Structure 1
Amino acid sequence: MIQVIVAAHGKLAAELVNSSEMVFGEVEGLHGVTFVPGEGQDTLVEKYEAIIAECDPADSVLFLVDLFGGSPYNAAARVAAKRPQDDIVTGVSLPMLLEVLDAKDDAKSAEDLATTAKEVGVMAVKSYRKPDETASFSSAEDTAVASSEDVEPEEDNTQYDPNGRMSVNLLRIDDRLIHGQVATSWAKAVKCEAIFAISDEVANDELRKELLLQIAPPHLKAYVISVDKAIKVYNNPKYASRNILMLVTKPEDAVRLIEGGLRIDTINVGGMTHKEGNKQLSDAVTVNPSNVEAFKKLLDMGVKLSLQKVAANKPVELTREKLDSIKF
């Protein structure tokens, strides 16, 4: 296993670890090391070595630290100098940490994982005015972010199976649509080729649409489209067998998708933030009367509803009894 030690001045490392758990849940092999006034390099070395002593001797360590030449880096270098399987990356940030956690189980070595960390450390730095002007280790053609207009199929003479449909790997209700959890853990967990963020309101809001497309993973195509357009594209044989992650903001839109022909057995209920008058359904989901009726209709359609905030969490079935217990 590759152990990941995050170390930085003050309590930054501990808070980065806490923030990462909001996306991934608790991750085995992740450690945060604080560095507060009164401590020195020797203290940090002792903390690092205490963590390593609790790990399997065959494990390697990737240190993610804040400043090149700072005490967390220098102490890590003293440890890594005696352990050729370890590596260190500076400039730790939340995007870097999330990508490292997402990739660490597949990485062959700490050095391999360090390459991922460095790439993301550069690519994650963007400005609002020029979001696409980013230094990148990958070529421009590797980045595929599309607008909703690109979903419209072009005319061609190819013969397609008239019964072909898209393969929806996951339909998730999440009123934030594309965000950190989706861009990292969910996209990888369902092995999708593209993300459809489906909302009539957002599709007609150019600013919100632009912001969502900026957040999408660079290796996936992302689209912000209306419910009607999603139904049209799903039923177009040209796109048969494409593996899609579909996101909607509310269960009412999931009902519309199914009524429009979408074939789905289970819907993931991820996050519906609190609004005035809503009732708490779970720690991440609040509902209004219309939402409850839509959830019940989905159950009547034979769809299983699964409450699951992050991919690492165990899904909890949303039952009719639970919905009936909600009183307004």
Structure 2
Amino acid sequence: MVGIVLTSHGQFAQGILQSGSMIFGEQENVQAVTFLPGDSPSDLQQHLQAAVAAMPEAESILFLVDLWGGTPFNQVSTLMDGHEDQWAVVTGLNLPMLIEAYASRLSMQKAAEIAVHLIGESQGGIRLYPENLAPEKENTSEPTTPAINANIGAPGKFTYVLARIDSRLLHGQVATAWTKTTKPTRIIVVSDAVAQDKLRKNLIAQAAPVGVKAHVVPIKQMIKLAQDEEHFGGQRALLLFETPQDALRAIQGGVPIQTLNVGSMAHSAGKVQPNKVLAFDQNDLDTFQELADLGVKFDVRKVPNDSPDNMDAILKKAQAAIDQR
């Protein structure tokens, strides 16, 4: 695996390491090196050497640096001698760059290969909102959710790469970690409520990662799309449900989901919260039982790198809390 060293002026490297973990999960073979007031360049170089030494299993090292020409960049450059075939440096560190670096390590084995790939992705993460602030030639954002039938494909049905219950719908963990892992061509939010909310629809369209279409459709429309054998061959769909009740309706209607990823269910009045990210009322528990009776499996993870939690244990804990009221 390619090791990654993040280095910056101040605590930026440590902070972006934490941000990356929130979105993509905890990562192995990643080190953060900070250049703080009072540190000398030689101190920084020693810290960089220690960071590399802390990853002995990494065959290749990618340095992600905040600023071209700054002290972190200069000290990394002095360490490069003799390692040009195994090491590479990219400056302008930002969060899209880091997330893409994590994802790229799953398929790329050389730091130089990842470094070249990162340039476009990190630049693509710089966007303006409202979109009319951008010069016309750069304004590639779609102001509204694109039609699901736009750019239809070959004969055939959708391939479903992920179906997720997440009260936050399309947010950072989905737009980066899950999208990089599952490689959908379309992200489809399946919700009657969101389909009637113009503001939320537009925000979802804006949140779509580069190269992936985002759509919002009512549940009945998703059922029809799932039955379409003429237009969606080769299309990889990532489905997002705001509630388990929406997922149940879709599955009962014929959307062929065998496994539901359960990522987030927000707490509200009347719900119990058996862990940090999932909250249930009795209706939710009954709905999950109906889903299980239909043969649906549950994959309880926020991000792909997390170890799956035991859904049966979570539901039993939630039921016990409700029964004790």
Aligned residue type for 1:252: Q
Hey, what does 2:31 align to over in structure 1? 31
CA offset at residue 87 of structure 1? 1.8
The within-5 A match list for 1:129-278 is 129-130=130-131, 133=134, 148=145, 150-152=147-149, 165-238=157-230, 239=232, 242-278=235-271
CA offset at residue 58 of structure 1? 6.8
CA offset at residue 101 of structure 1? 0.8
Q: What is the SS of the residue equivalent to 2:162? A: strand
Q: Distance in 2 between matches of 1:131 and 1:110?
A: 37
Residues 184-223 of structure 1: per-residue CA shift (max 9 Å, x gap): 2212323333211122222222222122122212222221
Hey, what does 1:5 align to over in structure 2? 5
CA offset at residue 53 of structure 1? 2.3
2:29–2:58 Cα contact (<8 Å) kept: no
Instruction: Specify whether residues 145 and 311 from structure 1 end up closer, same or farther in structure 2 by C-alpha distance, changes over 3 A only.
Output: farther
Q: Distance in 2 between matches of 1:66 and 1:2?
A: 19
Residues 5-64 of structure 1: per-residue CA shift (max 9 Å, x gap): 111111111111111111222211111112211102111110111122233387222111
CA offset at residue 237 of structure 1? 1.6
Length-normalised TM-score, structure 1: 0.87
Hey, what does 1:324 align to over in structure 2? 319
Q: Distance in 2 between matches of 1:19 and 1:201?
A: 30
Q: What is the SS of the residue equivalent to 2:205? A: helix
CA offset at residue 264 of structure 1? 2.0
The answer to whether residue 279 in structure 2 is matched with residue 286 in structure 1 is: yes
CA offset at residue 70 of structure 1? 1.4
Residues 82-125 of structure 1: per-residue CA shift (max 9 Å, x gap): 42132221111111111111112322422221122221221111
- The runs of 4+ residues in structure 1 deviating greater than 4 Å are 131-136, 143-149, 152-155
2:6–2:64 Cα contact (<8 Å) kept: yes
Aligned residue type for 2:268: K
Aligned residue type for 1:210: N
Instruction: Specify whether residues 108 and 31 from structure 1 end up closer, same or farther in structure 2 by C-alpha distance, changes over 3 A only.
Output: same
Instruction: Specify whether residues 81 and 208 from structure 1 end up closer, same or farther in structure 2 by C-alpha distance, changes over 3 A only.
Output: farther
1:40–1:71 Cα contact (<8 Å) kept: no
Of 240-249 and 59-68, the range deviating more from structure 2: 240-249
Q: What is the SS of the residue equivalent to 2:175? A: helix
Q: Distance in 2 between matches of 1:246 and 1:291?
A: 19
Instruction: Specify whether residues 247 and 112 from structure 1 end up closer, same or farther in structure 2 by C-alpha distance, changes over 3 A only.
Output: same
Of 47-56 and 249-258, the range deviating more from structure 2: 47-56
Q: Distance in 2 between matches of 1:59 and 1:179?
A: 33
Instruction: Specify whether residues 102 and 150 from structure 1 end up closer, same or farther in structure 2 by C-alpha distance, changes over 3 A only.
Output: same
1:172–1:270 Cα contact (<8 Å) kept: yes
Aligned residue type for 1:324: Q
2:88–2:112 Cα contact (<8 Å) kept: yes
Hey, what does 1:56 align to over in structure 2? 56
1:67–1:73 Cα contact (<8 Å) kept: yes
Instruction: Specify whether residues 152 and 55 from structure 1 end up closer, same or farther in structure 2 by C-alpha distance, changes over 3 A only.
Output: closer
Aligned residue type for 1:42: S
Sequence identity (%)? 33
Aligned residue type for 2:45: V
Of 4-13 and 83-92, the range deviating more from structure 2: 83-92
Hey, what does 2:105 align to over in structure 1? 104
In the alignment, structure 2 segments of 5+ residues that lack a partner are: none
Count of aligned pairs: 318
Q: What is the SS of the residue equivalent to 1:34? A: strand
Hey, what does 1:128 align to over in structure 2? 129
Q: Distance in 2 between matches of 1:220 and 1:62?
A: 27
2:24–2:304 Cα contact (<8 Å) kept: yes
Residues 212-268 of structure 1: per-residue CA shift (max 9 Å, x gap): 122212222221222121111111122356331111011010011012111222211
In the alignment, structure 1 segments of 5+ residues that lack a partner are: none
Q: Distance in 2 between matches of 1:283 and 1:168?
A: 28
Q: Distance in 2 between matches of 1:57 and 1:309?
A: 27
Residues 263-316 of structure 1: per-residue CA shift (max 9 Å, x gap): 222211001222233211322111233322222221222222221111111212
Hey, what does 2:70 align to over in structure 1? 70
